[in-house]
Amino acid sequence: MSELHFPWIEVSILVPLLGAVWIHLLGDRDHILHYAIGICTTTLVLTIGELVDFLSIGTFEAHDHWPYLNWIFHPDVFVVDELSAFQLPLVALIFLVTVMSTLRTKAPRFSLKLALVSETLVLATFSCRSSWTLVALLIAATIPPYLELKNRNRCTRIYVLHMSIFAGLLVTGYGWLVVVAGPIDGGYVDGINVSTLLVPGALLTAAALLRSGICPLHLWMTDLFEKGTFGTAILFTTPLIGSYAVMRLVLPIAPSWALQSIAVLSLVTAVYAGGMALIQREARRMFCYLLLSQSALVLAGLELVTPIGLTGALCLWLSVGMSLTGFGITLRCIEARISRVALVDYHGLYQQMPMLAGFFLLTGLAVIGFPATIGFVGMELLIEGAVDVYPLVGTMVVIAAALCGITVLSAYFRIFTGHSNRTLVPMHARPAERIAVLILTALILGGGLIPQPGVASRYHAAKELTRQRQAHPVSESNEATVAPLEATDH
């Protein structure tokens, strides 16, 4: 396996962890928020360096140079490949802009230490291939939100119940898989009959769908958004860890018919969540269902197992992560000024916060794949890939996107139009919030106006993932063959 020129992976994982320890030792100080922003910025720079180094090598996967955690983990546990190379900077960016958009008055309620620990766990998860380490990291990542709920004296029954079931399914399913398949090479198994993998595959699929919030296993997600801080809920859901679990644990062992069944279930969830988002009377719940709808579309594309559909899903994964994070931190900034936002009245906030209003509309339109935004090409490829499998599936994608679009515009009019109520407290965006807005705006518009580099890299990753799946068949029927990009280009 190829090596990076620097231990980017392990350093980027350890920086936020050491930063959390440092902030804990500092205690409650006035500049603790600035320190957290600096730590998240350093982590983002390291993950970008990792991406650039990986692209310069020109290989499908690579591990760290001078891996200094060999005494704890196997050298090939933490590996960057074409699936995770772009997700790692995305995760670091999500944590950075969320911390930057935190008001100093809200810092005691939103635990910066737990946020940095969560960043370490999520980065380690996205750097890990199928192994017991990945299972442990997926379970450990559920602990920080629980600690926050306990610290706020909120009821944790629903969250604990769902995450306990998730952990149980994950451990049982992967343990069963190891027993029946023996040593697992990167998640793939050879020479195993599909019926032997049916039970562990079903358990792992159920765990991944629960973590993704697929209907009817989504109750924990609405509960977390309602009872937890908005920032923690955003950090726990927008990286789409459930989709990553599907790619690492389910995709290598599931037959095509099972994956397409999961895709149909995900599309039903996307339409259901889009309809639910449209009728919500509170902004947090609206955002939760909007996120659930879009993440279900990503999961549906990942399960189509066609190069075009998989390319669209990988592109949409990046765009949904960026645009929904921007959409969420905009709502969070508004909440920090006027408390929770009700969608039954017109608040007329445009004149008091025009920058946030424009960013709200931009990120909302990017979520549904509006032209000239980063989500446009990904949504188009996803629809085309879905139609190739079954025409009705493509129709459901369009319906889900339409419902989400109506939701975004309705929320914009409710929050920013209407009679303006002047306040004595300034409500304009702070410098840190403006920087976060400008970063995400540049990425959303840049990815929409110049999409070719990102689409080409995602298509190459989709071809390689499809090739690996064909090289490790789990049944007598082969998977979809890789079609040339030129044959499907319009």
Tens of pLDDT, residue by residue over 32-52, are 888 999 999 999 999 999 999
- Provide the pLDDT confidence category of residue 481 given band limits of 50, 70 and 90: very low
Mean pLDDT of the chain: 85
The continuous run of DSSP H or E covering 236 comes out as: helix 230-237
Residues forming beta bridges with residue 188, ordered by sequence position: 185
The pLDDT, as a whole number, for residue 159 is 94
What is the band of 183 on the pLDDT scale with cuts at 50, 70, 90? low
Task: Check residue 392 and give its pLDDT.
Answer: 77
Q: Distance between CA atoms of 384 and 34, rounded to whole angstroms?
A: 45
Tokens matching residue 348: 């007329």
pLDDT higher than 70, residue 98: yes
Top mean pLDDT of 89-93, 150-154, 354-358, 419-423 is at 89-93
Q: Which of 26-30, 123-127, 166-170, 383-387 has the lowest mean pLDDT?
A: 26-30
Q: Looking at per-residue confidence, does 49 or 7 come out higher?
A: 49
- What confidence category does residue 74 fall into, taking pLDDT thresholds of 50, 70 and 90? low
Question: What pLDDT is recorded for position 188?
Answer: 57
Q: Percent of the chain at pLDDT above 70?
A: 88
- Residue 233 pLDDT more than 80? yes
**Spatial separation of the C-alpha atoms in residues 308 and 331, rounded to whole Å:** 33
* Band (187; pLDDT cuts 50, 70, 90): low
Extract the tokens encoding 187.
């998640």
DSSP string, 337-380: HHSSPBSSS----TTT-HHHHHHHHHHHHHHTT-TTSTHHHHHH
pLDDT at residue 103 in the model: 82
pLDDT digits (tens, 9 = 90+) for 286-320: 999 999 999 999 988 887 777 888 888 899 999 99
Q: Interior CA angle at 166 toward 161 and 170, to 5°?
A: 150
Give strand pairing partners of 81. 61
- Mean local confidence (pLDDT), 118-130: 90
Please give the backbone phi and psi of residue 282, each rounded to the nearest 5 degrees, phi first: -135, 140
pLDDT score for 479? 39
Cα 378 from chain centre: 15
What whole-number distance in Å separates Cα of residue 205 and Cα of residue 254? 9
255 within 8 A of 475, measured Cβ to Cβ:
yes
pLDDT at site 468: 74
pLDDT for residue 193: 64
pLDDT at residue number 478: 39
The pTM score is 0.90
Q: Is the pLDDT of residue 490 over 50?
A: no
The mean pLDDT value for 427-437 works out to: 86
Residue 79 pairs with which residues in a beta bridge?
63
In whole angstroms, give the CA distance from residue 464 to residue 461: 5
Dump pLDDT digits (tens) for 388-405. 777 777 788 889 999 999
Q: Which of 260-264, 433-437, 441-445, 467-471 has the lowest mean pLDDT?
A: 467-471
For residue 252, give both structure tokens. Answer: 């290598």
The tokens 């040339």 sit on which residue? 484
pLDDT value of position 43 = 96
Q: Where are the alpha helices (DSSP H) in 32-109?
A: 32-57, 87-100
**pLDDT score for 196:** 75
